[in-house]
Chain A
Amino acid sequence: MSAAAWIIRAAALVASEADRLTRLDAAIGDGDHGHNLDRGFTAAAAAIDGAAVDREAPPGRILIAAGRAIVSRTGGASGPLYGTALRRAGKALGDAPVVSAAGLGDALRAALDGVTELGGASEGDKTMVDALAPAVAACENALAEGGDLETCARAAAEAAAAGADATVPLQARKGRASYLGERSIGHIDPGAVSTALILRALAETAS
Chain B
Amino acid sequence: MRKLINAPAGVVADALRGLAAAHPELRVDPGLGTVVRADAPVTGKVALVSGGGSGHEPLHGGFVGPGMLDAACAGEVFTSPVPDAVIAATAAVSSGAGVIHLVKNYTGDVLNFRMAAELAEDEDIEVESVLIDDDVAVEDSLHTAGRRGTGAALFAEKIAGALAEEGAGLGSVAAVAREVVTRSRSFGVALSPCTVPEAGTPTFELGEGEMELGVGIHGEPGRRRVKAGTATEIVDAALTAIDADMPLDGADLLVLVNGMGGTPLIEQYVAYAAVADWLAGHGATVARPLIGPYVTSLEMAGVMISVCRLTPDLTRLWDAPVQTPGLRWGR
Partner of A176, one of B106, B137, B143, B199: B106
Instruction: Say whether B80 faces chain A, with CB atoms less than 8 Å apart.
Output: yes
Given the complex, which residues of B lie within 8 Å of A75, measured CB to CB? 53, 75-76, 79-82, 108, 112
**How many B residues touch A, CB cutoff 8 Å?**
38
Q: Is the CB–CB distance between A178 and B82 below 8 Å?
A: no
Q: Is the CB–CB distance between B82 and A175 below 8 Å?
A: no
Partner of B79, one of A71, A76, A118, A179: A76
Q: Is the CB–CB distance between B199 and A32 below 8 Å?
A: yes
Of all chain B residues, which has the CB nearest A73?
Answer: B82
Given the complex, which residues of B lie within 8 Å of A79, measured CB to CB? 80, 82, 108, 111-112
Determine the main DSSP class of B at the interface with A: loop
Q: In the complex, A73 Cα to B79 Cα: how many Å?
A: 11
Given the interface pairs A32-B199, A73-B82, A77-B111, the reply to whether A178 lies near B144 with Cβ below 8 Å is yes
Q: Is the CB–CB distance between B115 and A80 below 8 Å?
A: yes
Interface residue stretch chosen among B42-50, B121-129, B219-227, B313-321: B219-227
CB distance from A50 to the nearest CB of B (A): 18
Given the complex, which residues of A lie within 8 Å of B79, measured CB to CB? 32, 36, 75-76
Q: Is the CB–CB distance between B144 and A179 below 8 Å?
A: yes
- Which positions 77-129 of chain A face chain B at CB distance < 8 Å? 77-81, 118-119
Instruction: Say whether B77 faces chain A, with CB atoms less than 8 Å apart.
Output: yes
- Which positions 72-88 of chain B face chain A at CB distance < 8 Å? 75-84
- Which positions 206-256 of chain B face chain A at CB distance < 8 Å? 216, 218-222
Which residues on A are within 8 Å of B, measured CB to CB?
22-23, 26, 29-32, 35-36, 39, 71-81, 118-119, 171, 173-176, 178-181, 183
Given the complex, which residues of B lie within 8 Å of A178, measured CB to CB? 143-145
Given the interface pairs A30-B220, A180-B221, the reply to whether A35 lies near B108 with Cβ below 8 Å is no
Q: Is the CB–CB distance between B82 and A176 below 8 Å?
A: no
Q: Is the CB–CB distance between A72 and B84 below 8 Å?
A: yes
Q: In the complex, A173 Cα to B111 Cα: how many Å?
A: 17
CB distance from A158 to the nearest CB of B (A): 28
CB distance from B92 to the nearest CB of A (A): 17
CB distance from B299 to the nearest CB of A (A): 14
Q: Is the CB–CB distance between B218 and A176 below 8 Å?
A: yes
CB distance from A40 to the nearest CB of B (A): 9
Partner of B82, one of A74, A81, A118, A171: A74
Instruction: Say whether B172 faces chain A, with CB atoms less than 8 Å apart.
Output: no
CB distance from B7 to the nearest CB of A (A): 13
Instruction: Say whether B201 faces chain A, with CB atoms less than 8 Å apart.
Output: yes
| 29 sample A-B contacts, Cβ–Cβ < 8 Å, listed by A number | A22-B199, A29-B220, A30-B78, A30-B219, A31-B78, A31-B196, A31-B219, A32-B199, A35-B199, A36-B76, A71-B115, A74-B82, A75-B80, A75-B108, A76-B80, A76-B112, A79-B80, A79-B82, A79-B112, A80-B114, A174-B107, A175-B107, A176-B107, A176-B216, A178-B145, A179-B145, A179-B216, A179-B222, A181-B143
Instruction: Say whether B323 faces chain A, with CB atoms less than 8 Å apart.
Output: no
Given the interface pairs A26-B199, A26-B204, A119-B111, the reply to whether A72 lies near B83 with Cβ below 8 Å is yes
Q: Is the CB–CB distance between A80 and B199 below 8 Å?
A: no
Q: In the complex, A187 Cα to B78 Cα: how many Å?
A: 21
Q: Is the CB–CB distance between A26 and B107 below 8 Å?
A: no
Q: In the complex, A181 Cα to B80 Cα: how many Å?
A: 22
Instruction: Say whether B277 faces chain A, with CB atoms less than 8 Å apart.
Output: no
Q: In the complex, A83 Cα to B219 Cα: how many Å?
A: 26
Of all chain A residues, which has the CB nearest B195?
Answer: A31
Of all chain B residues, which has the CB nearest A183?
Answer: B221
Q: In the complex, A7 Cα to B94 Cα: how many Å?
A: 37
CB distance from B187 to the nearest CB of A (A): 13
Given the complex, which residues of B lie within 8 Å of A76, measured CB to CB? 75, 79-80, 108, 112
Q: Is the CB–CB distance between A175 and B199 below 8 Å?
A: no
Given the interface pairs A75-B112, A77-B108, A173-B142, the reply to whether A32 lies near B220 with Cβ below 8 Å is no
